[in-house]
Amino acid sequence: MKKNGTAAAWGWIPYLIPALVFYILFMAWPLLDSLRLSLYTGSAGIGRSFVGLENFKKLFTVEQYSQRYWGAFAHTLYFFLVHLAVQNVLGIFFATLLTNRTMRGREFYQTVIFMPVTFAVLVTGYLWKLLLNPVWSGPFMTKIGLSFLVRPWLGDRATALTVVSLVSCWQWIGIPCMMFVAALRNISTDYFEAAIIEGANGWQIFRRIKFPLIRPVVGIIAILTFVNNFNAFDVVFSMENVNGAPNYATDLMGTLFYRVGIAGQHPVGIPDPGMGAAIAAITFFVLCLGVIPTLKATQGRD
């Protein structure tokens, strides 16, 4: 009996082996190899040499690197904050409306909100690039009396990053919205009925009951938003090219990494995988510093 009990207690281990192998091969090993690569300079074609922390030193002290790095970091942080303030807040708002039992056509509105998520990012970016082009959409906008909206939104440094961020919010708002819908529908209606009997209004019910109970989901969505935004690349690539036009105004950490480590466009003109790996390593540590406190701060409490 004891042997059978021991076998049953450890019988779940073989089921974890495929997932563990997949994780090691495609996540853990590439991450560790990227950290190793950040300590080297050169490429496989011309030969690599060990330089220790020299890549990190150059990234923060050499102006041609540091200027672009801090600019991309600030833009990425702004990109994340726009998503946090627009995408996630509207996600909660729409989810609250969609879980209102008196609302008609909820399934239709859910489909409309989630539909942009199914579009390819490159296609979405290209279509919005056309719509925001004053040469292409200007005559139509003028005819319908919206000529004040005809301006080079993507060509102006003051508006380009905000516009790209809002386009990204428009496409991905369906994911947090559906997650909030699932969380709100999982709350027992007994809480709401008791609150209504006590005279609570809609805002009080949301602030005192709904939001505290979905706070763990809020934390998960905030973490996913943080991680995805600090790895964003395709939306800028499709709308402003890899250079983060105009004049690096939309340059993010993802586009900077691509230019330095893969394309080799800045500043020396040839790919530098070691410097690109250094940028990726710093991004990884920034993500850790952001994810861990957020996870602890949003844990549910009894």
**Position with higher pLDDT, 12 vs 266:** 12
Which pLDDT score is estimated for 269? Answer: 62
pLDDT in the model for residue 174? 95
Token pair 């036009």 in the structure block, residue: 245
Give the residue-averaged pLDDT of 12-37: 86
Q: What is the mean pLDDT of residues 297-302?
A: 59
pLDDT of residue 112: 94
Given this model, what pLDDT does residue 6 score? 58
- Is residue 7 very low, low, confident or very high in pLDDT (cuts 50, 70, 90)? low
The CATH superfamily assigned to 76-297 is MetI-like (1.10.3720.10)
Q: What is the pLDDT of residues 274-290, one digit of tens each?
A: 888 899 899 988 888 88
pLDDT band at 72 (very low <50, low <70, confident <90, very high): very high
Q: What is the mean pLDDT of residues 85-93?
A: 95
Global confidence as pTM: 0.86
Over range 87-110, report the average pLDDT: 90
Is residue 253 pLDDT above 80, yes or no?
Answer: yes
Of the chain, the percentage scoring pLDDT greater than 70 comes to: 92
pLDDT (0 to 100) of residue 302: 47
Q: What pLDDT, on the 0 to 100 scale, is given for residue 30?
A: 84
Amino acid 300: pLDDT: 53
Dist CA 65 CA 46 (whole Å): 22
Mean pLDDT of the 59-67 span: 87
Residue 258 pLDDT exceeds 80: yes
Token pair recorded at residue 77: 């942080």
- Please tell me the predicted confidence (pLDDT) of residue 111: 92
What is the distance between the alpha carbons of residues 181 and 97, in angstroms, rounded to a whole number? 9
Q: How large is the average pLDDT for residues 86-93?
A: 95
- Predicted confidence (pLDDT) at residue 98 exceeds the cutoff of 60: yes
Mean pLDDT rounded to a whole number for the chain? 86
Whether the predicted pLDDT of 83 surpasses 70: yes
Question: 63: which residues sit within 8 A by CB, 6+ positions away?
Answer: none
What pLDDT digit, counting tens, does each position of 175-223 carry? 999 999 999 999 988 888 898 888 888 889 899 999 999 988 998 999 9
